[in-house]
Amino acid sequence: MAWLTEETHNPKYRALVLRRNSDDLRDWVDRASQLYSRLVNPGTKVGNPPEFRFPSGAIIRTGHLKDDQAYTKYQGHEYQRMLIEELTQIAEERQYLRLLSSCRSVYKELKPQIFLTTNPGGKGHQWVKKRFIDPAPPGITIWDGLRSRVFIQATMDDNPTLMQNDPQYVANIEALKEIDYETYMAWRFGDWDRFAGQVFSEFDRNYHVIKPLVVREGTPFIWMDWGYSDVHETTFSSYIASVIKSKTKDGQNYHQVITFQEICGNRKDPEEWARIIYKSCYEMGIKPKLGICDPSMIRSKTDTSKLPADLMMDEWKRLNGNKSWVQLIKGNNARTGRVGGWAVMHKWLSKPHGIPFWQITENCKHLIRTLPMLVYDEHNVEDVDTDMEDHPADACRYGLMNIKFINIKPGSYSATKRNKKVQLDRDERGLPIINPSKLFGTM
């Protein structure tokens, strides 16, 4: 708030303050009115939406982003400083970048800057984490051409005045520890891997993510979600996974799934994706048994046109010497199927015997990035918010719903017995100790 007033002596200075909606902006306007009215050169609040005008002619304006086209109100404007509060309420990065284009300056003495505040969680959690949190540790500046950005982390411990003057606030946060641990970690320590509304809070990189490998035993499948546009870099998402029959020490049978290859992107036609998938499987020595895909890829019985699944299977047949290669079948994408699918994924992520039923190799980077970032839809709390980058998760949902889940009782666990009586050793976390000559091929 005070940062915005540093250039108010300059008559050319213009600043913009944005919140997701006008109601959220009221608190900021009230606090700004109190602060700016006491300055040596005070700012006067006028108009609706409110703006603050200073004796020099400088202006600080306010606005909202309540819909996808709200950015057009600021298009063509020039603001040397811009403040966006609660950034993760902006669902998509492209909405932010549109606003960023209005933060510019034709005056050398006024350097364009943008200040963002936020907490973990919300619809924009994915892209904010990817853009600001993941690239560098807090306090380290990242240069992107002529622009730079830096993430400055702050917790309650950085605000001793608040902790001293409002001990009840601190107590309220601490009370969350026992009843809502994810929210507690996000609000108390700024943990970006745990946050309120997180769908797959049980996902743990220490257990679910393993070193790259190729599973040549078991039953391999292709999972696929179709998309073409460049809204996300994973609009098309495909995975190769293998189902392995295993036993616990006391003889209980169960299935384990290892997802070990990722093929994601956008703006490619079905035939091109078919060639990429075929080449990948050929190089790994894998012949998938079946492909489970987005229902929109498969035509109905009354439709004579060729949809993506037909085009891909035709291309595979051509590449395979005019012999059928992999048959694609329709996944479940009905509303009840979606909700049921997420419930199934929770089961596959569980680890009652210390080892997850489902593990993912490190090279599946988009799945590992997006899966823990998904949040619930505020209008349907059992479903994932479709504004999120959910394509990798959708592909896995189609696949995991078509694999028989065998639940087992929690208990001790030793090395598992695999096909051909192969012994697979594990470390203390349950991660495979790879012996390529026995079971796996390395990548």
Q: What is the DSSP string of 55-121?
A: TTS-EEEEEE--STTGGGGTTT--BSEEEESSGGGS--HHHHHHHHTTB--S-TTS--EEEE---S-
Using the structure block, give the residue that is written with the tokens 């997006």. 370
Q: Cα angle at 35 between 5 and 83, to 5 degrees? A: 45
Per-residue pLDDT of the chain (443 residues), as tens digits, is 789 999 999 999 999 999 887 777 888 899 999 999 999 889 999 998 899 999 999 999 998 887 667 778 888 899 999 999 999 988 888 889 888 889 999 999 999 999 999 988 888 888 999 899 989 999 999 998 888 999 999 988 888 888 888 888 888 989 988 888 878 888 888 888 877 778 998 999 989 999 999 998 889 999 999 999 998 899 999 999 999 888 777 777 888 999 999 999 999 999 999 999 999 999 999 999 999 999 999 977 666 788 999 999 999 999 999 999 999 999 887 766 789 999 999 999 998 877 899 999 999 999 999 999 898 887 888 899 888 899 999 999 999 999 988 777 654 333 333 333 334 556 655 555 544 333 444 44
Task: Report whether 187 contacts 173 (CB < 8 A).
Answer: yes
- pLDDT, residue 20, reads 81
Return the pLDDT at 162. Answer: 84
**pLDDT for 427:** 61
Please state, in angstroms and rounded to a whole number, the distance separating the CA atoms of residues 354 and 175: 29
Amino acid at 338: R
- The amino acid at residue 3 is W
- Distances in Å between the Cα of 260 and the Cα atoms of 37, 80, 241, 281, 355 are 60, 47, 6, 11, 17
- CA dist 294 and 309 (Å) reads 9
Q: How far apart are CA 391 and CA 231, in angstroms?
A: 11
Residue ranges of domains in the chain, CATH in brackets = 2-119 (3.40.50.300), 158-189 (no CATH), 205-441 (3.30.420.280)
Closest CA to 123 of 394, 374, 393: 374
Q: What pLDDT, on a 0 to 100 scale, did the predictor assign at position 310?
A: 94
Residue 383, token pair as written in the block = 């479903």
